[in-house]
Chain A
């Protein structure tokens, strides 16, 4: 399955990345590459808009956990927005839901990370 990444600039240092499709073994590297560059460019806030994300494999969740660690070190923030029920359940079982800020949609996510 494919993954489309759509970046939206909110303001300097703040980006919304919409994930369309699935983050799986074929696509997780692209998400990691995007986030690596985002941190290198010094973005302070990255909102992952998951409203059109249908599936997230273990490798995908691994990237999210790595991004959390990295953002904490850089004093930046990664927020997940609009995560579907299935993916949210996986994140909840793993305890990731409590670690990474979650919001019902992008607007709420941006409030969490002013």
Chain B
């Protein structure tokens, strides 16, 4: 709302703030509150920035050289979040009395004197003088202490007035609510199991990056675990969870500051690498692949990942297309025998042009999943990729026998030469899971798969 929309009296009151006139007395208090509210609401999800802003504002408002802002961790311990002019350890020892003192504080900060022992001996050693709680009250009236602000003596030598104490208390409330929101937000965008970002946030960041980055090169890594199902089946789901956590930790350790690691779902992770050329993205992917392959799970189980790399604007411009390209690249990596990094670009015989009709691959993949062909899925994908690369069209997938839905076949229109058919038959027969291949130029051709082969 602009000040023009407000009643004229209110507009007059706010005028000095919007015009940034240097004011004094009670108006300066209002101005400081105005700035706290506007700034903190502008950076609601940047905890460190909010705390720094609040610290500088309180130093400048009261004219102090010492400030200590404490926040509480998940275990309820008080930790140093910001310190200026005081030398204190990272963890601050507190007593139940300190917590009670912060909880009992009502409407005004307290001043340390001979009768107030809050945060003693810290306050007595450092000379910190005024204390307020970072308290947040929810809609049920329950109070939560998120931390505390401690201020030193004023350089003017003046005492803290009751108005000062009320403003400091208000600052504590504003910061506490913001910290609380900040943590709720962080929780809402974080995947609980792996502690990387959740899919929704990841997708919004990719969208934002492509929109803001315009012609800048943005790369995506699609990381797919090769053997999570086997780990779950043989070692149990707790080990499976541990495998996901370890892969997530490796992903976070391998990326650059500013990159975004997210869990797309199940055993699939997607990494957003802003301002990253494809060759650099491939190097990062290669490091991830190698580190995962080196990692051993409890019981000595091995892990591996297949990674697809795609870059905008080279491979695609929209988010959906880019994800689709990276997804396709993962299938190439799997077709090449897993534990591989692949791009949508040159990959041996596979050419983008030949795969431009790769919608069938995508549809087939969905088909494989729909039929529940977990045992033969890999073989089907590998064969499909090879057939598409050879220029085969109109590939159709169907189940072979009702008794065992894992048995299936691929049929397709064959325009290959006799020689090409002979070579292809040899290659396809060598793929585990394939039990029958018939390739005849111009005739109905098929590849059959059998579970457990």
Q: Which residues of A contact B (CB under 8 A)?
A: 1, 22, 24-26, 28-29, 32, 54-66, 68-69, 84, 86-87, 89-90, 93-96, 98-99
Contacts and interface: CB of A to CB of B under 8 A. Distances in A.
B60 A24 contact: no
A96 B32 CA distance: 17
Contacts of B431: none
B63 to A, nearest CB: 3
Contacts, number: 97
- Which 10 residue pairs across A and B have the least CB separation, nearest first? A95-B156, A94-B63, A61-B60, A86-B22, A62-B56, A62-B60, A62-B59, A58-B60, A58-B61, A25-B39
B65 A63 contact: no
Nearest to B43: A25
A87 B158 CA distance: 20
Contact of A66 (B32, B53, B59): B59
A89 B59 contact: no
A96 B155 contact: yes
A1 B38 CA distance: 14
B156 A94 contact: yes
Contacts of A55: 20-22
Interface in B29-60: 31-32, 35, 38-39, 52-53, 55-60
Interface in B323-354: none
A65 B63 contact: yes
A69 B55 CA distance: 15
B20 A24 contact: yes
Interface of B: 20-22, 24, 28, 31-32, 35, 38-39, 52-53, 55-65, 84-85, 154-158
Contacts of A95: 63, 154-158
Contacts of A87: 22
Contacts of B24: 89-90, 93
Nearest to B64: A65
Contacts of A1: 20
Given A65-B60, A94-B155, A96-B63, A59 B84 contact: no
B94 to A, nearest CB: 26
A24 to B, nearest CB: 6
Given A66-B84, A95-B63, A95-B156, A25 B38 contact: yes
A84 to B, nearest CB: 8
